[in-house]
Amino acid sequence: MTTLQDRGDDTRVDDTPLARAISPRLLALFITGDILGAGIYALVGEVAGEVGGAIWASFLVAFGLAALTAFAYAELVTKYPHAAGAALYVNKAFRVPMVTFVVAIVVMASGISSAAGASRAFGGDYLSEFVTLPTVLVAIGFLGLIGLVNFVGIKESIRLNVVMTVIEAGGLLFIVGLGVATLVNGEGEPGRVLEFTQDGALPLAVLSGATLAFFSFIGFEDSVNVAEEVQDPSRSYPRALMWGLVAATTIYLGVALTASMVVPTDDLAGSTAPLLRVVELGPVDVPLRLFAAVALFALFNTALINMVMASRLLYGMANQGIMPRALGRVHPRRRTPWVAIVGTTVLAAALAATGDLTDLADTTVVLLLAVFTVVNICVFVLRRDEVDHDHYRAPLVLPALGAAASVVALVGKVFDAGPGVLVRAALLVLLGIALYVANRAATGRTAAELDASRLDS
């Protein structure tokens, strides 16, 4: 069996049994859909509370942060076109199995906290258009439904994901259309898009909003797991990744500008369904329940993607004996990792019950910024590692800036969000390490046996 440790550096781009069926255009659409989701539907108001009416400024900074790290991923995925993402790159760079394991745990934890945040948003003002229920109960029930879909089967989950991606993208494009209609009709307050909050220093306000807006950009890093199925990945992946990020950012900026023009900033900042307020006050008469349903689909889709990733990652580690074997059990009829699904669902429910949307979004951002810092560093460590195929080479200034920006954003987020977010992130990682230590004591298996092919998200 090929492991992370014994997979050699002679990584051939065609060394895969999978069909290379994903064209560059399809990959760009896939990446765009992977980025679009709960963040923009739920957090526009929270960002407005940090930066004021100039929401676009924070989203633009968040794009810059994501783009810098995207260049690092573009080099590493074209150099090592296999699943496993950050864990594979870290292992090749440092050859320390425990570090590789911790990175895998951090990635899994980020998915769980992201899903928990989506569940809290699901129980907010969007759902109240249909029924009013306690947010915590809705969040737990929502995660239970996600777990059920995940259990039914991966094929069903992916099909549902495609349908919901189309719906959520349509909802965001509709908001952008409202912005255009607002300008044409001479309505709204275009001047608000240049208003910044008066609380604190302007750069800090923009950065604080950007680290929150960054939650809306996560997802592009998951695309590395389809590298083995992309046509000519060395050429097509970097372009598709950047096109996907640019497309998502263009939509986000349109949504941010529209929200600022249509809804007063204080009103926007106080809403858990900010885009619903845009539809309500916009120049086009649309049934609020229709758009609320679209937003709920977007939240469901984000949570489903993250829980599928987290459960498969936990299953992969259990299947290799790195985590307790029980977590690797597969249902005999559905052929899904049901114990891992139950475990990740219970953990997400616990997070949803103990943290609000902002706390959980901040936890996700803290975890991923730590991963992005390491990934950017890996570019430098692995630059001297030669492979026998052409691959993209990022100008070294970009991963250097990416690492520095990730560290600055991480420190800023920790100080801005408070110790609770850092404690929650640390507890998630420590829980994974505790399971590893317990399993190590019981079986003698070590993190060196972690299999790269199992670390697909």
Tell which residue, 402, 425, 422, 424, has the closest CA to residue 414. Answer: 422
What average pLDDT does range 138-167 have in this prediction?
A: 83
Task: State residue 17 phi and psi, 5-degree precision.
Answer: -85, -5
Confidence check: pLDDT of 448 > 60: no
Angle at which helices 357-382 and 97-122 cross, to 10°: 150
Domains annotated for the chain, with CATH where assigned, are 24-454 (1.20.1740.10)
CA contacts within 13 A on the Cβ side of 125: 18
pLDDT range class, residue 11, cuts 50, 70, 90: very low
Per-residue model confidence as pLDDT tens digits over 191-231: 999 888 865 567 788 888 898 899 888 878 777 766 666 77
The DSSP output letter for 227 is G
pLDDT digits (tens, 9 = 90+) for 269-310: 878 889 999 999 988 888 999 999 999 998 988 888 888 888
Q: What CA–CA distance (Å, rounded) separates 175 from 181?
A: 10
DSSP 272: S
pLDDT tens across 398-446, in order?
A: 999 999 999 999 988 888 777 788 888 989 889 888 888 887 787 765 5
What's the pLDDT at 119? 93
More confident residue, 200 or 372: 372
CA distances from 287 to 165, 243, 272, 294 (A): 21, 33, 18, 11
Nearest to 364 by CA among 43, 4, 32, 27: 43
Provide the pLDDT for residue 278: 92
pLDDT over threshold 90, residue 139: yes
> Can you tell me whether residue 355 is helix, strand or coil?
coil
240 has a pLDDT exceeding 60: yes
Most confident of 93-97, 186-190, 370-374: 370-374
Question: Tens digit of pLDDT for each residue in 312-327?
Answer: 888 877 777 777 888 8
* pLDDT bracket for residue 450 (50, 70, 90): very low
Confidence of residue 378 (pLDDT cuts 50, 70, 90): very high
* 3 state DSSP class of 230: strand
8 A C-beta contact, residue 197 and residue 47: no
Residue 95 CB neighbours (<10 A): 12
CA dihedral 163, 292, 121, 412 (to 10 degrees): 90
**Mean pLDDT across 156-178:** 83
Residue 134: pLDDT band with limits 50, 70, 90: very high
Going from the C-alpha of 195 to that of each of 29, 188, 262, 349, the distances in angstroms are 34, 14, 14, 38
Calpha distance 92→444 (Å, rounded)? 23
